Every structure is written in C-alpha cells, then in structure tokens.
Amino acid sequence: MDSVNIVYPVITAVLWSFNPAVISRYAKNTPPSFFTSIRGLLAALFIGLIIVLNGGFSYGKLSPVILVLIVVSGILGPGLGDIAYTRSIQLIGGSLSIIIGYLYIFLAQLFSLLLFSEALSITMVLGGLVAFMGIVVATYGYRGSNRDLRGILLAFASAVLWGVAASMIKLFRDYVDQYTVSLIRTGTVAVFSAILSALTREKPVVDRGFVIAVSITGVLSWGVGMVLFTYSIYSLGVSATVVTTALAPVLSQLTTRLIAREPYSRRVVAGALLVSIGIVIHVL
C-alpha cells in the first residue's frame, strides 16, 4: 500500500471526526435538510474554485450514464445519508451516532463484493463480529425514549446509505477525475436537500452557530474531505480507504468531549474502540 496515498484517508478521518462535535454544539436545532443543503453549496463552491485554479474542468470520458450514477451516489450518501446522520446527532449526540454510522465501512465492502466480486475472508467475518460487539457495548442497557430509538435507527440508515454511495465511487475511476466527481456530488446534494427542505416545510435557522457549523462541515469535511476520500478510493480501493476512516469514531470521542461538551461515557468509548478494532481485523 502506498505510504503517501494512505495519508489522504487519514486526513479525511481527522476532518470527519469533528462533524459530530460541531453539529452537536452549533447546529443542534437546525433543520437537517436545510443544513445539508448549505453544506453542499459551500463545498461545491470551494471545489469549483479549486478546479478553476487548477486550469478548469476535465470531464474525461464522462457519459450520461456515469453522470446519472454520480448524481445518484450524491443523493444517497452525502444527501440522504448525511441528513439522517445530522438528525441522529441532534437526537442522541455525536458520540453514539458516529459509532453506529461507521458500520458503513462493512456495508461498503459488502456492496463492493456484490459489485466487483471481491472475496469474503474469515477476517472480514471476524472483524464484523467484533465491530457488532462494539455497537452492543455502546448501546446495551440503553433505556431511552422513542426519540432516542429514532436517533439510533437514523444512524444505522446513514450507515446503509453511505455504504452504497462509497462503493459506487469506484465505478467512476476510469471516466472522471476526483475533483469533478466531488463537485457533481456536492452540487447534487445542495439542490436535492434544498428541494427536500422546501417539501418538508423546514423553517431555516441561521445564526452564528449555524454559520460556524456549515463552514467547518461544508468546506473542510466535504470540500476537502470528499476530494481526498474520492482520490483515496481511486488509488487505494474501497476497502483500504473506508477502513482507514475507522480513525474517525475514536477521534470523535475526544472532539465531542472537547467541543460539544458531551458527558464522558466509558461504554461509548469502549464501543468506539471495538468498532475500530473490528474494522482493522476486517481487512487483515
């Protein structure tokens, strides 16, 4: 594995680890679809600026079919997936949401297996079991309200949606560069989420906290993170990339504590560590 390229998903994991804390503290009451739409808009503007500074657009072998697939991956992953994830954080906090959400790693590999006929090894099965134990440790005995249960289900929904979307990115490697893919996906998210926000009659809340949250999670997480994530899948493959992002659940236990000031939970931290260990075993 290229030691230089592996740095990119590591940086992505670090950037993504801040999302739960930032959303939990600064966007607690923000309508999720509206929030996701503005994130997508800022990310698209940022990526578009990078493309212009690098000499303009390069569509390569982009065909209508590939374009549609990129749009679909944007709607499923950073679109519906992040809307569900944002709402989950608002309901149950960032620490638990990211642990459940990061089951997307196993689902991405499962979908890659189905799409690209990748072999399923014993370590993959064992890793899945260890990660599942992490979820059990983090949630066992958790007696919350229906509001809390909904948050857990939304986090799992985000994992499924992210898994599908991440596995689809590999399909685009031979047709279009990572910048264009990221621009189309974030632009799609901006438009789709804005329409969804209007249809559900969300009431936008724009304040100082909102500006801080969309700036950090839009420009850094998506503007920088999505380009690095796409490039990593192009160069390292789906499995190696998604596994490296396992750093995010562990790091998020620190960021949610420091930034969002969520109460310290040994059970959640232990669950995050088990999930991360399971992810590493999964691809040994």
**pLDDT tens, residue by residue, 167-183:** 999 889 889 999 999 99
What is the sign, positive or negative, of the torsion defined by CA atoms of 179, 154, 210, 244?
negative
Q: How many CB atoms lie under 10 A from the CB of residue 171?
A: 15
78 in Cβ contact with 185 (< 8 Å): yes
Query: Within its chain, how far is the Cα of 205 from the centroid?
Result: 23
Q: Which of 47-61, 62-76, 101-115 has the highest mean pLDDT?
A: 62-76
* Residue among 1, 27, 3, 4 nearest 221 (CA): 27
How far is residue 21 from each of residues 9, 120, 233, measured CA to CA in Å?
20, 34, 26
pLDDT of amino acid 71: 97
What tens digit of pLDDT does each residue of 4-57 get?
Answer: 577 898 899 899 999 999 999 999 889 999 999 999 999 999 999 999 998 777
Residue 93: the pLDDT is 87
Q: Which residue has the tokens 């374009």?
A: 67
Between 164 and 2, the higher pLDDT residue? 164
Other Cβ atoms closer than 10 A to 130: 17
Q: What is the pLDDT of residue 222?
A: 96
Which amino acid is it at 76?
A: L
What is the reported pTM? 0.88
Range in 11-25, 26-40, 137-151, 232-246 with the lowest mean pLDDT: 137-151
Looking at residue 264, its amino acid is Y
Residue 80 CA to residue 271 CA, distance in Å, equals: 25
